[in-house]
Amino acid sequence: MLTDPIAVAAAAPTPALNFYVTKSDGFGSQRRHDGVDRYDLIINHGSGKSGDRHYMQIRYTVDAVSPYTGLTSKQTATASLSFTVPQFGFTTAAMVALVKALTDTLADAEVTTTKLLNFQS
């Protein structure tokens, strides 16, 4: 089990976040940061015939005004990371390197989240 809370240092443009457990079982947890900004963190694990699957999702919920109706409603954006470890052939170190390669690629100036949000591939 990860620590409770998970404290994430501020890194512009994201504020410091403290994710407290709201639900937990043997396969994962749900956590919430209840600051001015509402963030939720979901972590799940599972095993199958093809290997172990690990999933992490962050959700950000805001009250937003619809440009169509003028009414305020909750809107949620999500970002997730999923990886599957085959039953054999990959060490923990190899998987750490693979996930790091993905996050490094996303952070690279030639890729960036902004470019992906603008439908560049």
Question: Could you give the CA distance from residue 6 to residue 9 in angstroms, rounded to a whole number?
Answer: 10
**pLDDT at residue number 6:** 92
Same domain, 24 and 41: yes
**pLDDT at residue number 15:** 87
For 31, the token pair is 């956590």
Residue 1 resides in a domain: no
**pLDDT at residue number 109:** 93
In angstroms, how far is CA 36 from the centroid of its own chain?
19
pLDDT in tens, 18-58: 999 999 998 999 999 987 779 999 999 999 888 999 999 99
CATH code, 44? 3.30.380.10
Question: Could you give the CA distance from residue 53 to residue 45 in angstroms, rounded to a whole number?
Answer: 6
Same domain, 100 and 49: no
pLDDT in tens, 65-118: 999 999 999 999 999 999 999 999 999 999 999 999 999 999 999 999 999 999
DSSP assignment of 40-65? EEEEEEEEETTEEEEEEEEEEEEEEE
**pLDDT at residue number 34:** 82
Question: Could you give the CA distance from residue 28 to residue 63 in angstroms, rounded to a whole number?
Answer: 28
